[in-house]
Amino acid sequence: MYAVVALGGSVLNVENPDRVRKAADLISEALESGLKICAVVGGGPVAREYINVARELGAPETALDELGIAVTRLNAALLNLALGRPEADVPETPAEAAETVRREGVAVCGGTHPGHTTDAVGAMIAELLEAPLIIVTNVDGVYDRDPSEPGAQKLRELDADELERLAFEADLEAGGSFVVDPVAAKIIRRGRVTTHVLSWDDFKSVGIEGALKGRHGGTIIRG
Ligand code: UTP
């Protein structure tokens, strides 16, 4: 069985070496149990720093995305090192990542193309592999509105149409941000990708198999 794990840059980055080690341990544990895993790593604060500086320089948004992608790929290389795979290539497309997982049983990748985040890359790979997706992020699940707003409620389960609606609505608001980007939400819906959204703390204690069984306090989107 295949599983795709998207580790957001806010949870896995060079500023948290212990988490890189722990993520590698959790992936190794799941591999030993027979799962085939694709991990997709985000860019984190380093990506944001590069993007902010380049934006001040007046660079076009696509060029900023390319900077972000470069940082995600650097983080992917770091996770490969923690997994004891120093010679492993970081796949450049979702198809290449899926093919690597089918062949080798494991792959670690970062971003691929401008215009979306690594969550969308994770959703694309999950769609290709017909696999479930685990999104590990800095929020403990999907909320019905911005979690900082009073009265915001965490949703235990929601359907993919609702996820897509919430993601697109948040994207339309200035400065609006949502736990899953709209492209990822669209792929999750059309690919019928069962998706678990949970925090790092939750992920750390339940691991990949526990997350796939829904033994977490986050949100489940049934594919
Ligand atoms: P992340 O996936 O880390 O995005 O990619 P994020 O959602 O901003 O970060 P977290 O998870 O909340 O910390 C960093 C940036 O790299 C570019 C985008 O600009 C993104 O914001 N990127 C990434 C792409 O353009 N395409 C990709 O496939 C991946």
Domains: count for the chain: 1
Task: Give pTM, 2 decimals.
Answer: 0.96
Q: CATH number, domain at 217?
A: 3.40.1160.10
Q: What's the pLDDT at 173?
A: 66
Strand partners, 142: 155
| 109 Cα: distance to centroid of ligand 1 (angstroms) | 13
Q: What's the pLDDT at 39?
A: 98
Q: What's the pLDDT at 32?
A: 97
Q: What's the pLDDT at 9?
A: 86
**CB burial readout 159-172, b (16+ within 10 A) else e:** ebebbbebbeebee
Place of tokens 């890189």: 20
Which portions of the chain are predicted below pLDDT 50?
A: none
Q: What's the pLDDT at 176?
A: 58
| 116 Cα: distance to centroid of ligand 1 (angstroms) | 7
Helix axes 94-104, 118-129, angle to 10 degrees: 50
Structure tokens at 63: 């060029």
Structural domain boundaries, residue 100: 2-222
Residues with CB under 6 A from ligand 1: 8-10, 42-44, 47, 64-65, 68-69, 72, 111-118, 121
